[in-house]
Amino acid sequence: MKIVYTDVLVIGGGLAGLRLAIGAKRRGHDALILSLVPAKRSHSKAAQGGMQASLGNVAKGQGDTEDVHFEDTVRGSDWGADQEVVRMFVNTAPKAVRELAAWGVPWSRVRKGDREVIINGQKVTITERDEAHGLIAQRDFGGTKKWRTCYAADGTGHAMINTVADQAIADSIPVHERKEALSLIHDGSRCYGAVVRDLITGEVSAYVATATAICTGGAGRVYRTTTNAVICEGIGHAIALETGVSALGNMEAVQFHPTGIFPAGILVTEGCRGDGGLLKDVDGHRFMPDYEPEKKELASRDVVSRRMEEHIKKGKGHKSRFGEHIWLDITLLGEKHIHTNLREVWDICHYFLGVDPVKEMIPVRPAQHYTMGGVRTDPSGQSPTLKGLFSAGEAACWDMHGFNRLGGNSVAETVVAGMIVGETIADYCDKLANTPTVPLGLVREFVEREQAKLAAFTKGGGREDASLIKGEMQDLMTAKVGIFRTGKDLEEAVDKLQKLLVRSRSIGLRSPSLGANPELVTAYRVQRMLKIALSIAYGAAVRTESRGAHFREDFPRRNDAEWLKRTLATWKSESDTLPTLAYEPLDVTRMELPPGWRGYGAKDYIDHPDTPERQKAVEAIRAQYASDRFAMQKALMPYEHLLPEVLRGKNERIDERF
Amino acid sequence: MAETSNSHRKLRIHALRYNPAKADDTPRIQTYELEEAPGMTLFIALSEIREKQDPSLQFDFVCRAGICGSCGMMINGLPGLACRTVTKDLPADISLAPLPFFELIGDLSVNTGKWMRGMSEKLETWVHSMGQSTDLKRIEEAMDPALAEEVYELDRCIECGCCVASCGTARMRKDFVGAVGLNKMARFRLDPRDKRTDADFYELVGDDNGVFGCMSLLACHDVCPKNLPLQTQIAFLRRKMVLQGTKG
Ligand SMILES: Cc1cc2nc3c(=O)[nH]c(=O)nc-3n(C[C@H](O)[C@H](O)[C@H](O)COP(=O)(O)OP(=O)(O)OC[C@H]3O[C@@H](n4cnc5c(N)ncnc54)[C@H](O)[C@@H]3O)c2cc1C
Ligand code: SF4
Ligand code: SF4
Ligand code: FES
């Protein structure tokens, strides 16, 4: 049996995994990254739009602070987020952007003087300040009060991951590419690493570590129509779930992005609307102001996606041979803007649709986009139930997005979480008591169990087809567990998914090789993906309210009285066909921002009994500390003690020096 | 949207098959027939072949949107990104082969990632701040907006390997850093945050495995799917390195 030893095993080479590994390595611990693909090809590469951080450099971002970013994020989450974690995040985001700037990310910069932009369909002149010249620029994004989204033209994620991956190379961090973690090695209370399969040779080996971090990104491919890359299959989520101990939080919270190109689902960035693009119906009518007079096209993603589907249901979609869609019109932005700031959008339209967005409108329809749910951790990134297991990035639920994440908050989260959890993990490894005595018998048992499972596909005599099962699962998820949900649809989905899970236990292969074999990969992944699909569908079926991206037509109101709580899914036994659900309440009495109206979407919700009293207390504190926002924040909800010491401290801005 | 009139062509995809891990395997061409669909890309076509006809066919797709650089392959003899190649732009007979030069994993899949990591280690493709530390609480250092855009332009490389696959020098010299490597040097040279001097860059690319190995035939420039200005960048870097070389 081959065993690789390291201090920190990082599963996933996207932005979160890379930054976390760099943090651990710089603190003197050996870190090793596993990735399905070369690190720079991770899906972080695809982020076009940008990264939120309250720098307040541009004129339209003036007055932005952590406080505004905090409120936008909590409202966006529909009060599902952990407010302490949001505070940790908003305070670290400016530091993250500045660190990346020092490392070499070619952020777009502010030019002083006048420039013309499109706001609300109108040309407007903005004057940038002299003292902002050359500082990092921000653009507008959905769900934000200020212009806060930092960007590198329209290749933000690309530029970020290039830089961070190259830093990891500079720090001599090995990335074992084309390797897949198949399961976590654990004894029910502590994690010792992972069983790993080499995707080139098929070899199965063990990676043993003091600390293991799941940074495997999203699970969008359980859906048919998604903006996610083909490798975003949620295997990291699944191996945590399969421990039976580690829980997945809020899996029913799935985000749909308004502008996937139709029908391929490839994303065109929110920057299109942020920069002034409009959504139009079959009659060429701009319909968003009819529904959302305040934020219009720039309401949060869940709201815009629902409004688009609602409008299509009214018969206002454009009918094409593939089905109905809405139009995204960016022609008003002009050729120059499109060719410099939205070139990736132009490329996508040109290569995948044969459309020139300078002259023509783009066919779009909402597509699955982001997995808010993930491996449940505490604010430091550690699993509360499985010692030695950590998680960061889209795969994690520490929970800063609640039931809906804001555009630009995710790549920001990956780097911020990497910074924070990198420190936590280093602290953990510093403690001698945490160095495990490796239970070799257990390691062998886990490796052999995975080998036996793989052999069963080739020799087990099963007759089910892996691709067919996968396709049925994806169709079910898109049709029944999508943007509009009902009890009836969800129950049907849960029932059918369970049957698929049972069938997946007797998959047989047409090409029975244990080496490089794409069919074998589909087979073992689909079994795991079904557990993720079931966690989403079952969680959604049980949650009889609407919150953020989870919208129940039969329960359209947010119900804080009964549902201000986080879903925790565990998978108790291999023979189960459903996850076990438990709920963790959110404590209103400690919230800095008690639940209220989001500022867009439905105004109708059921209050939590503690809300009015907390609201009064909060108002009193706000009045008392009106002159000092830092003291006020501290009195409302102290959080700084949760941050690693190196990451604490105020952030300087043009308008806020210290 | 663009819908094709000849959407029901029969396509014949001739793929080079070879699994180097199998002792008895020999390279061969295998032909798959399938019906063209509107808007079909080679990603869609190959995925369908794998799902319906041959689950063992190896190839690499990740983003399927032309941005990650995974799917470089020889398409009718020319290197390109398969995911953003639309079948309607191709004849009904389409021949596919793995990119040459790189280590073959199997069929259409090659190990560009391993090569790129080696190149990055060799050329140290990161900003060398030379010990200058940054206080993350303070306002970032300003950078000329136009310069930031220029750096971004050169940073757009997706490490797909198409340039190397088309390069005559790479065919002869296995340690040649390729247009991808030279472009990266130009990118860091331009970046004011990188404190290396031309003497440092000369150490890295001032030889026949670097800028002096390039024959300027510019096959790379023509195939780069991101349209990077490889021609001007290589020429510029060469002039700077010649200058540095004569300085001794
Ligand atoms: C099209 C698109 C555009 C986006 N645009 C924006 C934007 O503008 N702004 C924003 O903030 N967010 C955006 N997002 C979201 C954001 O990009 C992602 O949430 C974020 O990049 C995820 O980073 P990550 O490091 O968590 O995971 P990823 O970058 O997805 O990396 C996951 C890593 O895990 C590895 N992995 C997975 N499973 C295994 C396994 N079993 N074993 C070993 N390795 C494994 C993969 O190889 C990969 O290296 C966008 C997302 C999409 C889909
Ligand atoms: S320079 Fe162009 S062709 Fe070469 S690796 Fe980069 S993107 Fe690909
Ligand atoms: S110009 Fe130089 S790098 Fe480009 S293909 Fe020719 S020899 Fe190779
Ligand atoms: S699959 Fe990413 S570029 Fe083709």
pLDDT one-digit tens code per residue, A178-198: 999 999 999 999 999 999 999
What is the distance in A from the centroid of ligand 1 to the CA of A639?
27
What's the confidence (pLDDT) of residue B248?
63
Q: How far apart are CA B108 and CA B60, in angstroms?
A: 8
What percent of chain B shows pLDDT beyond 90? 87
**Residues whose CB is less than 8 angstroms from the CB of residue A348 and which lie 6 or more positions away in sequence, other chains included:** A261, A266, A268, B65, B66
- Residue A424's closest CA among A388, A386, A372, A393? A388
What's the confidence (pLDDT) of residue B1?
42
Q: Is B44 in the pocket of ligand 4 (CB under 6 A)?
A: no
Residue A418 has pLDDT above 80, yes or no: yes
**Residues whose CB is less than 8 angstroms from the CB of residue B246 and which lie 6 or more positions away in sequence, other chains included:** none
Q: Is B71 in the pocket of ligand 4 (CB under 6 A)?
A: yes
* In contact, B188 and B125? CB cutoff 8 Å: yes
Q: Is B63 in the pocket of ligand 4 (CB under 6 A)?
A: yes
List of chain A residues whose C-beta atoms are within 8 Å of the C-beta of residue B138: 98, 652
The residue contributing the CA closest to ligand 2 atom 7 is B157
Residue A417 has pLDDT above 70, yes or no: yes
| Atom number of ligand 1 nearest to Cα B63 | 1
What is the value of ipTM here, to two decimals? 0.96
**Closest ligand, as measured to the CA of A158:** 1
To test the pocket of ligand 4, the residue of B59, B67, B86, B112 to mutate (highest count of ligand atoms within 8 Å of its CB) is B67
The residue contributing the CA closest to ligand 3 atom 2 is B214
How far off is chain A from B246, nearest CA to CA, in Å? 30
What's the confidence (pLDDT) of residue A274?
84
How is residue A420 written in tokens? 């924070």
What's the confidence (pLDDT) of residue B142?
97
Q: Is A181 in the pocket of ligand 1 (CB under 6 A)?
A: yes
Catalogue the long-range contacts made by B131-137 (C-beta closer than 8 Å, 24 or more residues apart): B132/B195, B134/A98, B134/A99, B134/A102, B136/A94, B136/A95, B136/A98, B136/A99, B137/A95, B137/A649, B137/A650, B137/A651, B137/A652
What percent of chain A shows pLDDT beyond 70? 100
Residue B4 has pLDDT above 70, yes or no: no
The residues of A carrying an active-site annotation are: 257, 273
Query: What is the number of residues in chain B?
Result: 248
List of chain A residues whose C-beta atoms are within 8 Å of the C-beta of residue B61: 230
**Residues whose CB is less than 8 angstroms from the CB of residue A22 and which lie 6 or more positions away in sequence, other chains included:** A31, A164, A167, A168, A171, A173, A418, A422
**Residues whose CB is less than 8 angstroms from the CB of residue A184 and which lie 6 or more positions away in sequence, other chains included:** A191, A193, A194, A195, A212, A239, A240, A242, A243, A246, A386, A389
How far off is chain B from A545, nearest CA to CA, in Å? 34
Residue A312 has pLDDT above 60, yes or no: yes
List of chain B residues whose C-beta atoms are within 8 Å of the C-beta of residue A106: 148-149, 151-152, 155, 191
What's the confidence (pLDDT) of residue A626?
93
| Atom number of ligand 3 nearest to Cα B217 | 6
**Closest ligand, as measured to the CA of B170:** 3
Residue where the block lists tokens 């024959």:
B215
How far off is chain B from A18, nearest CA to CA, in Å? 14
Give per-residue pLDDT as tens, A437-474: 888 999 999 999 999 999 999 888 889 999 999 999 99
- The whole-model pTM stands at 0.96
What's the confidence (pLDDT) of residue B229?
95
What's the confidence (pLDDT) of residue B2?
44
To test the pocket of ligand 4, the residue of B59, B70, B157 to mutate (highest count of ligand atoms within 8 Å of its CB) is B70
Q: In the predicted model, what is the mean pLDDT of residues B108-124?
A: 97
Q: Which chain A residue is nearest to residue B53, measuring alpha carbons?
A: A510
How is residue A447 written in tokens? 């490796």
* In contact, B30 and B14? CB cutoff 8 Å: yes
Beta strands at A580-585 and A565-570: parallel, antiparallel or unpaired: antiparallel
What's the confidence (pLDDT) of residue A95?
98
Mean pLDDT of chain A: 95
Least CB–CB distance from B145: residue in A97, A103, A111: A111
Residue B118 has pLDDT above 70, yes or no: yes
B120 and A46 within 8 Å at the Cβ level: the answer is no
What is the distance in A from the centroid of ligand 2 to the CA of B179?
7
Residue A265 has pLDDT above 90, yes or no: no
First to last CA, chain A: 58
What is the distance in A from the centroid of ligand 3 to the CA of A45?
27
| Atom number of ligand 2 nearest to Cα B72 | 8
List of chain B residues whose C-beta atoms are within 8 Å of the C-beta of residue A110: 145
What's the confidence (pLDDT) of residue A513?
86
What is the distance in A from the centroid of ligand 2 to the CA of A47?
19
Does residue A653 belong to the interface with chain B, where contact is any CB pair within 8 Å?
yes
Q: Which region among A242-251, A472-481, B33-42, B100-109 has the lowest average model confidence (pLDDT)?
A: B33-42
Confidence of residue A154 (pLDDT cuts 50, 70, 90): confident
A to B CB pairs, distance under 8 Å: 204
How far off is chain B from A14, nearest CA to CA, in Å? 12
What's the confidence (pLDDT) of residue B3?
44
Looking from the CA of A236 toward its CB, the CA atoms found within 13 Å total 35
To 10 degrees, what angle do helices A466-480 and A518-542 make?
Answer: 30
Helix, strand, or coil (residue A40) = helix
Q: How far apart are CA A403 and CA A253, in angstroms?
A: 5
Q: How far apart are CA A261 and CA A352, in angstroms?
A: 9
Give the type of residue at B80: G
List of chain A residues whose C-beta atoms are within 8 Å of the C-beta of residue B142: 109, 133-135
